[in-house]
């Protein structure tokens, strides 16, 4: 039984050593002109910048300019979002987004600067209209999204916040038009759906404004009202029912000649101190290292040491206990040997 428990513990420790707290979440495939949103989660020594974000077509560097990088802080921690519009002229094929040139925490008191990569596919298909920006963080309850018809014919697009009434807007050939929407607020993500025919694309809105109990409203020309049911936010954006990672995320170990791909674990925002292999210091202890935010507490990347006063008082108590034990042992052996020496005289008198 002990061997079995020890084996499980060692397996957990070894597996944890390969855990990276950095993940990239994206859809597995995109159409040309579609809104691209990538979520980057991790514990970084310094926040990522646009210089740390690279795109590749196969192994060849490519451009997704212009793209933006922003951070959003929620109850689970701070995540970073890269967003852009997939260029209409991109060649269909396999692409990837990489986070390069930055230190991130990998567990067991270790940091790494190996690039983290996530693959996706650009299909040989063009959207009916581009929607920009792909991710919005409005400063007011009303905000605009810009639609641009990519075709030579007039189209009517049905759009609206998921789960609410939708509107329609007409776009002429290659026409650009703004639509105005109103956010619910409430520190949450909102998913705006745009449908033409049997195709649906999305724009993401994160509202850090106060929650208001009103329905989302749109203002535009040639609009009519409909009811629609769309897919959930995470299902449309990241390809699953809940916030789940794709399986093609890799860490590229640059110390290997050909590069070694190591699968990363599913994301969960911040890791717990145990998952990071760090300590949680008690109230009578201080961290003799670096404090790192964890999901359950502030984690100590170092040793937990007793506070000076606590340590001295506990040390004194320890010496007192040792002294009492020594006195008891001395009295015990003294009493035992004194009885042994008297025993022969008693036997002789019998």
- List Cα–Cα distances, 195 to 125, 128, 131, 217, in angstroms: 16, 9, 11, 17
Residue 16 pLDDT > 50: no
Of the pLDDT bands very low, low, confident and very high (cuts 50, 70, 90), residue 197 is very high
- In this structure, the number of other CB atoms found within 10 A of the CB of residue 157 comes to 23
Nearest to 23 by CA among 2, 41, 46, 5: 41
Report which of residues 185 and 255 the model is more confident about: 185
Nearest to 42 by CA among 240, 279, 293, 278: 293
Residue 18 pLDDT > 80: no
For the stretch 98-125, pLDDT in tens is 999 999 998 888 899 999 999 999 999 9
Q: What is the pLDDT of residue 134?
A: 96
The number of CA neighbours under 13 Å toward the Cβ of 63 is: 4
For the stretch 236-293, pLDDT in tens is 455 544 444 444 455 665 443 333 333 333 334 466 777 777 888 887 777 777 667 6
Rounded Cα distance between 35 and 54, Å, is 17
Nearest to 172 by CA among 141, 143, 148, 205: 148
Residue 163 pLDDT > 50: yes
- List Cα–Cα distances, 225 to 53, 160, 232, 253, in angstroms: 41, 10, 21, 53
Rounded Cα distance between 288 and 278, Å, is 12
**pTM as predicted:** 0.62
Q: What is the pLDDT of residue 75?
A: 81
Point out the least confidently predicted range of 90-94, 208-212, 240-244, 324-328. 240-244
Q: What angle do CA 246, 242, 216 make, to 5 degrees?
A: 120
Place of tokens 């106060």: 210
Report which of residues 248 and 319 the model is more confident about: 319
């Amino acid at each position: 039984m002990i061997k079995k428990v020890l084996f499980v513990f060692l397996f957990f420790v070894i597996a944890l050593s390969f855990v990276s707290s950095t993940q990239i979440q994206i859809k597995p495939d995109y159409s040309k002109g579609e809104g691209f949103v990538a979520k980057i989660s991790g514990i970084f020594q310094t926040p990522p910048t646009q210089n740390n974000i690279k795109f590749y077509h196969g192994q060849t560097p490519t451009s997704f300019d212009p793209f933006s990088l922003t951070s959003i802080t929620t109850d689970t921690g701070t995540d970073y979002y890269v967003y852009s519009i997939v260029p209409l002229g991109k060649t269909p094929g396999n692409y990837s987004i990489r986070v390069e040139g930055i230190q991130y925490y990998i567990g067991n008191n270790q940091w790494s600067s190996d690039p983290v990569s996530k693959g996706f596919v650009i299909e040989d298909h063009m959207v009916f209209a581009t929607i920009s920006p792909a991710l919005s963080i409005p400063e007011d309850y009303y905000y605009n999204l810009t639609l641009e018809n990519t075709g030579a014919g007039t189209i009517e697009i049905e759009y609206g916040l998921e789960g609410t009434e939708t509107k329609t807007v007409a776009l002429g050939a290659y026409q650009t038009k703004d639509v105005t929407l109103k956010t619910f607020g409430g520190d949450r993500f909102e998913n705006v759906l745009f449908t033409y025919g049997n195709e649906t694309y999305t724009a993401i809105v994160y509202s850090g404004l106060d929650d208001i109990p009103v329905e989302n409203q749109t203002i535009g020309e040639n609009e009519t009202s409909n009811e629609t049911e769309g897919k959930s936010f995470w299902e449309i954006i990241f390809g699953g029912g809940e916030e789940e990672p794709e399986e093609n995320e890799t860490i590229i170990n640059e110390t290997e000649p050909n590069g070694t791909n190591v699968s990363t674990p599913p994301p969960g925002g911040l890791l717990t101190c145990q998952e990071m292999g760090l300590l949680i210091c008690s109230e009578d202890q201080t961290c003799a290292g670096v404090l790192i935010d964890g999901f359950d507490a502030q984690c100590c990347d170092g040793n937990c040491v007793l506070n000076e006063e606590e340590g001295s008082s506990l040390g004194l108590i320890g010496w007192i206990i040792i002294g009492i034990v020594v006195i008891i042992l001395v009295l015990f052996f003294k009493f035992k040997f004194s009885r042994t020496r008297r025993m022969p005289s008693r036997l002789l008198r019998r």
